[in-house]
Amino acid sequence: MRDMIHLYLSRQAASLPRYIWEQALQFVAGWIPSLIGIGVRGLLYRTMLQMDGMAAIEDRVRLRWASHIRLGRGAYIDHGVYIHATPGGVSIGPGAFVMHNAILHVYNFRDLPHAGITIGARSLIGEGCVLRGQGGITIGNDVYLAPLVQLLAVDHDYSDLDRPISAQPIITRGITIDDDVWIGGGAIVLDGVRIGRHSVVAAGAVVTRDVPPFTVVAGVPARVIKHLQPAHATNGRLTTLQAASA
């Protein structure tokens, strides 16, 4: 029983005092609705997580290993979001939005070297999205994830036919999403994928390999269906786009 309790606590916070403090704060302030609750949590929660300026945290948000969570100025965490940051951490950039019932889950207890989730400035994680960051997930600036997108930066070895798959090693390579990407609703991005700048992933696609910049991909598995050609750029920034068939 003692070992089970120790295991449980180690999955919740960095130490027993941290667990008590984090749970107490969420018990006292986690349920308060409206702007009053956002204001109270904005003041109290900065004692258990890292906040660069003021961030908005709605009620019924569950935070585990809060000491490894960083929120940028103006970040918004919607109702029912679950963030489990151990131990690689979760960083949510300034002005980023994490919407209702999204799950950001690192949960690395196998000492995987690149575990963690980083979300850039002004990016949006849509309702019900699932981010599994055991292999590391890096999301750039101005990225839009529509509802129910899954980013799964973890895989299992299954080569040993005499052992249960759950008992075999975890394989991780990580997922990188560059700036200015739109991923449509219900799409799945698998481990080891990089999605290039200003690309679009169609709703329901399953992305199993890298997506080149300035392309649209769709299907299962996803393939390029369109190229987006820059017409001209000013100061290194795209000003207009011309879509051409693949």
Q: Mean pLDDT of residues grouped by 10 in the chain (246 residues)?
A: 84 91 96 95 95 95 96 97 91 98 85 88 98 95 98 90 88 94 98 97 98 96 91 45 37
Three-state secondary structure call for residue 51: strand
Three-state secondary structure call for residue 87: coil
Q: Give residue for tokens 């131990």.
A: 87
Residue 158 CA, chain-centre distance (Å), reads 26
pLDDT value, residue 54: 92
As a whole number of angstroms, the distance between CA 169 and CA 154 comes to 11
pTM of the model: 0.88
Q: Give one word for 148, left, alpha or beta, with left for phi > 0 and alpha for psi -120 to 50.
A: left
Instruction: Look at residues 149, 152, 91 and name the one whose alpha carbon lies nearest to residue 120.
Output: 91
pLDDT value, residue 1: 82
As a whole number of angstroms, the distance between CA 84 and CA 13 comes to 9
pLDDT value, residue 51: 95
Within 13 Å and on the Cβ side, how many CA atoms surround 211?
39
As a whole number of angstroms, the distance between CA 163 and CA 221 comes to 29
Helices (H) and strands (E) in the chain — how many of each?
3, 26
Burial class (CB in 10 A: 0-12, 13-18, 19+), 94: middle
Q: Is 100 a catalytic residue?
A: no
Instruction: Look at residues 217, 221, 219, 222 and name the one whose alpha carbon lies nearest to residue 246.
Output: 217
Choice among 6, 68, 105, 156 that is catalytic: 156
Whether the ω angle into residue 221 lies within 30 degrees of 0, i.e. cis, is yes
